[in-house]
Amino acid sequence: MLGYEVNFDGLVGLTHHYAGLSFGNEASTQHRHAVSNPQLAAKQGLLKMKALADLGFQQGVLPPQERPHLPMLRKLGFCGSDESVLVQAMRTAPQLLSALSSASAMWTANAATVSPSADSADGKIHFTAANLNNKFHRAIEAETTSAVLQAIFSDRQYFIHHDALPQVALFGDEGAANHNRLGGDYAKRGVQVFVYGRQEFGGKQAPVRYPARQTREASEAIARLHQLDPEHTVFLQQNPEVIDQGVFHNDVIAVSNQQVLFHHQQAFWHQQQGLEQLRRQMAAVETELVAIEVPTARVSVADAVATYLFNSQILTKPAGRMMIVVPEESRQHAGVWQYLTEMVASGGPIDEIKVFDLRESMRNGGGPACLRLRVAMNEPELRAINPRVLMNDTLFATLNQWVDRYYRDRLTQHDLADPQLLREGREALDTLTSILGLGSVYPFQQ
Ligand SMILES: NCCC[C@H](NC(=O)CCC(=O)O)C(=O)O
């Protein structure tokens, strides 16, 4: 194999809490006001990163963001000292303080859309930070996301960074959670699949109960920015009925790796037509699509949402077969676990299951796939990134000590106005940027 897929996982931030901010994401709504454990959340994430690095996969880490987001609180009219801003916000607009304290940047599948150099006309890796326009607590992520990505992928010879799309509903963009890339070797041309929830101009189908966060117009803009060849690009609509059942991102119902598309029977609108188109385009890049479709009779949409079976990672092992990484919730469900064990025994491309306990993130609707951003790279590109973000024994030990030093093991909305939490956060992030060699990426460091 010539290329690599590097997974960059988001490190959970110090203010991780359950605020019920994401209408349409049922886990978020259900766990509103539950007590969180930021320390455990960060460690669960680190354990996944380390275990995958130990198995020979390329694994990176992306830092959390500055929260509470004081600059936005000030933009919204809270003034005076930092302490006074927090006290006023808690007193008059606690929900706003909660939104501006969300650790949601941990779900890096929503950080950006990334196109590898093999697919782009100029031969560079393109990044577009996601505007996350549908949710206020997420729309504030884009600026720092861009700064972080530019600090890691800084070599202009290889990497191009685009600003997030305009912050309006027409261009609602959720990043890689609504994007898949299918093909053979990671460093060879593939087919990029953009999955949108609604089409503003001329669309016919849209969900009625829950929002469709990704628009076709946004996906098309990204394909243009990334200089993708229309012959090798597919736009599919997500099935609006499943969005209404809690499938708020496509990565809750489908996941891909190389030639494999693992998806639910009800994932896409006009599914068979879409898969046919994909099959043809894959043939044009000399790869045969392996579509693993899970029938509703085996796993209902409700069970897919509850267990996050499809929010899994499918990874190509060094020896060539694939492994599926699922959350503990998938093992706990008898029907889903039965399906998985049969699938890996069936002689198909996936022959191993790996389970992780990611409960703190899962309770806000973020499974293994939500926590990672994939970047397909060739050897020189991999050598050009900031190596200090790559997981190894030393970084794992350092980050665990860092978490032990700064993170609380219990957090509720009440704690968010505590000025000590703000101070702890800034000190921790300042230390982290030196550990990861990122320079100044946060507003408080400017
Ligand atoms: N890819 C997974 C994203 C999960 C994320 N959850 C949240 O933001 C919940 C935050 C809260 O409710 O506290 C979202 O819905 O975008």
Taking only the tens place, the pLDDT of each residue in 47-73 is 999 999 999 999 999 999 999 999 999
**What is the pairing mode between strands 260-264 and 254-257?**
antiparallel
pLDDT at 2 over 90: no
Rounded to the nearest angstrom, the distance between the alpha carbon of 352 and the centre of ligand 1 is 29
pLDDT at 1 over 80: no
**Residues 424, 14 contacting (CB under 8 angstroms):** yes
Element (H, E) at 115: strand 112-115
Residue type, 268: F
Q: Active site includes 226? A: no
As a whole number of angstroms, the distance between CA 195 and CA 19 comes to: 28
As a whole number of angstroms, the distance between CA 364 and CA 367 comes to: 9
Say whether the ipTM exceeds 0.95.
Answer: yes
Could you report the per-residue pLDDT of 76-125, keeping only the tens digit for each?
Answer: 999 999 999 999 999 999 999 999 999 999 999 999 999 999 999 999 99
Report, as an integer, the average pLDDT of 149-175: 98
As a whole number of angstroms, the distance between CA 329 and CA 356 comes to: 9
Report, as an integer, the average pLDDT of 137-156: 98
Could you report the per-residue pLDDT of 115-138, keeping only the tens digit for each?
Answer: 999 999 999 999 999 999 999 999
Q: Active site includes 370? A: yes
Quick one: angle between helices 38-54 and 393-406, nearest 10?
Answer: 180
CA atoms 249, 250, 254, 255: torsion sign: negative
Report, as an integer, the average pLDDT of 245-263: 98
Regarding the beta carbon of 25 and ligand 1, being less than 6 Å apart is answered yes
As a whole number of angstroms, the distance between CA 19 and CA 138 comes to: 13
Ligand 1 atom nearest the C-alpha of 20 is 12
Report, as an integer, the average pLDDT of 296-306: 98
Rounded to the nearest angstrom, the distance between the alpha carbon of 28 and the centre of ligand 1 is 6
Neighbouring residues of 162: CB distance < 8 A, sequence distance ≥ 6:
126, 127, 128, 129, 225, 226
Burial label, 141 (beta-carbon count in 10 A; 0-12, 13-18, 19+): buried
Rounded to the nearest angstrom, the distance between the alpha carbon of 135 and the centre of ligand 1 is 9
Could you report the per-residue pLDDT of 3-49, keeping only the tens digit for each?
Answer: 999 999 999 999 999 999 999 999 999 999 999 999 999 999 999 99
As a whole number of angstroms, the distance between CA 220 and CA 376 comes to: 21
Neighbouring residues of 138: CB distance < 8 A, sequence distance ≥ 6:
102, 104, 110, 132
Regarding the beta carbon of 104 and ligand 1, being less than 6 Å apart is answered yes
As a whole number of angstroms, the distance between CA 147 and CA 356 comes to: 30
Residue with tokens 């320079």: 439
Within 166-214, residue ranges assigned H as helices are: none
pLDDT at 311 over 90: yes
As a whole number of angstroms, the distance between CA 247 and CA 313 comes to: 17
24 annotated to a ligand binding site: yes
Q: How far is CA 365 from CA 26, 33, 58, 248, in A?
A: 7, 14, 25, 9
Residue type, 34: A
Regarding the beta carbon of 18 and ligand 1, being less than 6 Å apart is answered yes
Q: Active site includes 79? A: no
Rounded to the nearest angstrom, the distance between the alpha carbon of 137 and the centre of ligand 1 is 9
- CA torsion, points 416, 107, 146, 313, in degrees to nearest 10? 160
Could you report the per-residue pLDDT of 398-412, keeping only the tens digit for each?
Answer: 999 999 999 999 999
Residue type, 388: R
Neighbouring residues of 156: CB distance < 8 A, sequence distance ≥ 6:
none
As a whole number of angstroms, the distance between CA 106 and CA 371 comes to: 6
Structure tokens at 47: 């354990």
Could you report the per-residue pLDDT of 196-237, keeping only the tens digit for each?
Answer: 999 999 999 999 999 999 999 999 999 999 999 999 999 999
Q: How far is CA 267 from CA 274, 301, 334, in A?
A: 11, 9, 22
Regarding the beta carbon of 107 and ligand 1, being less than 6 Å apart is answered yes
Regarding the beta carbon of 22 and ligand 1, being less than 6 Å apart is answered yes
